[in-house]
Amino acid sequence: MPGKNFLFVPGPTNIPERIRRAMDIPLEDHRAADFPEFALPLFEDLKKIFRTERGQVFVFPSSGTGGWEAAITNTLSPGDRVLQSRFGQFSHLWAESCRKLGMAVELIEAPWGEGVPLDEYRRVLTNDSTHLIKMVLVTHNETATGVTSDLAAVRRLLDELQHPALLAVDGISSIGSLEFRMDEWGVDLAVSGSQKGLMLPTGLSIICVSEKALKISKTAKSHRYYFDFSQMSAANAGGWFPYTPAMTLLRGLRESVNMLLEEGMENVYKRHGRYAKSVRAAAAAWGLNLCAKDEVLYSDTVTAICVPEGIDSNDVVRNAYNRYNLSLGGGLTEVAGKVFRIGHLGDMNELMILSALAGTEMALCDSGIDIKLGSGVGAAARFLRGSL
């Protein structure tokens, strides 16, 4: 099909030309004498993306799933109890990874479309008077349902109950796009991935670790080698890596961090909020509901939109791709066939958003959904013009 593919899944995201050029270099010597001059400033500037002064950032060559494993195995011992709520595919997978790594998971089920169930967390943590729960896990932004949970509220709850559990956060589709404040919110472990708000190819997991979590990692008894914090920390202190790093991705990461800091993180958050509101305006004009149950939960990086009864959302995704070269996200597991997802994170501008909405409108009509062509695009355009 002529022309480019329009990529509007919630990751991987579009790669800016600046980052492409930064990665389009010959391979280099990662043991060269001047390598720390590149690596050490990168480690420091990454802390600005997480909004931390006290935390330490580790960059592992892996997907975000590897980041989950690093967070778990470095700070927990086999049999340790963790608290997790399942309200989407990725909160489900993080809980499963804990189980397979030998942890005892206290799992709270919540309806898909809702966020972290704070009342249930309060009940479980209040009853845990002997502090058997060693970690509280939160999926900050659940991409399966387009829901963002209130991390600060979880920290306030832990502080109120004086519970010492680590606060571990899956920020893979939020960090670099949504408001995230590592120190202010008392996050102990924050996991991100290169292919989302950092606008890179898949292949890096960036983890920020609090002083408290680093201290605990020295006595945690889970087996780890490749993802070992102590091995990485010792090498990073001098500006090195304990094994061959993904140098082309690191060069891209340097440029990504430059771009985000040039824009300013507050402006990055506002930009994502603005584009998300335009997509939600389009969905309202189409007369379609969102999977997120309440507007306080609406994600600014992905919108999951419900299709009418009798319609298979997979048809929308297929028609968008096969007819218009537009990639949308499909529904996953419990919402398979019920929702489609529009990702709006990373490198994005007004015309990119409007093009995705135009293609989505045609795919909706092709799939038997009765909408007026131009209604969603018009609603989004009016919002974008009025919010400059």
Give the domain ranges of the chain: 6-12+264-386, 18-263
Answer yes or no: pTM beyond 0.75.
yes
Spatial neighbors of 349 by CB under 8 A, at least 6 apart, are none
Q: What is the mean pLDDT of residues 94-103?
A: 95
The pLDDT value recorded for residue 375 is 98
Reported as a single tens digit per residue, the pLDDT across 240-298 is: 999 999 999 999 999 999 999 999 999 999 999 999 999 999 999 999 999 999 999 99
Nearest-angstrom CA–CA distance, 379 and 354: 10
* Confidence at 2, pLDDT banded by 50, 70, 90: confident
CATH number of 6-12+264-386: 3.90.1150.10
Predicted local distance difference test score (pLDDT) of residue 66: 96
Per the CB < 8 A criterion, the answer to whether 172 and 346 are in contact is no
DSSP letters along 124-149, please? HHHH-TT--EEEEEEESEETTTTEE-
CATH 3.40.640.10 fits 18-263, yes or no: yes
What pLDDT is recorded for position 388?
82
The mean pLDDT of 300-321, rounded to a whole number, is 98
Residue 56 CA: distances (Å) to CA of 174, 188, 225, 245: 19, 10, 19, 18
Q: How far apart are CA 140 and CA 91, in angstroms?
A: 9
The H or E element spanning position 376 is: helix 375-386
pLDDT category of residue 183 using cuts at 50, 70 and 90: very high
Average per-residue pLDDT for the chain: 97
**344/301 Cα distance (integer angstroms):** 5
What percentage of the chain has pLDDT greater than the value 90?
Answer: 98
Are 6-12+264-386 and 18-263 in the same CATH fold? no
* Rounded Cα distance, 256 and 239, in Å: 19
The tokens for 254 are: 């340097």
Q: Which long-range contacts (CB under 8 A, 24 or more apart) does 352-358 make?
A: 352/6, 352/14, 353/275, 353/278, 353/279, 353/380, 353/384, 354/380, 354/381, 354/384, 355/6, 356/6, 356/8, 356/326, 356/328, 357/278, 357/279, 357/282
**Residue 155 near residue 116 (C-beta atoms within 8 A):** no
Condensed to tens digits (0 to 9), the pLDDT of residues 10-32 reads 999 999 999 999 999 999 999 99
276 contacts 341 by C-beta, under 8 angstroms? no
For 70-91, write each residue's pLDDT tens digit: 999 999 999 999 999 999 999 9
Each residue's pLDDT tens digit, 137-181: 999 999 999 999 999 999 999 999 999 999 999 999 999 999 999
Q: Judge residue 164's burial from the number of C-beta atoms within 10 Å of its C-beta, 0-12 exposed, 13-18 middle, 19 or more buried.
A: exposed
User: Do 211 and 183 form a contact (C-beta atoms < 8 A)?
Assistant: no
Q: Read out DSSP for 187-231? A: -SEEEEETTTTT---S-EEEEEE-HHHHHHHTT--S--STT-HHH
Distance of alpha carbon 186 from alpha carbon 195, whole angstroms: 25
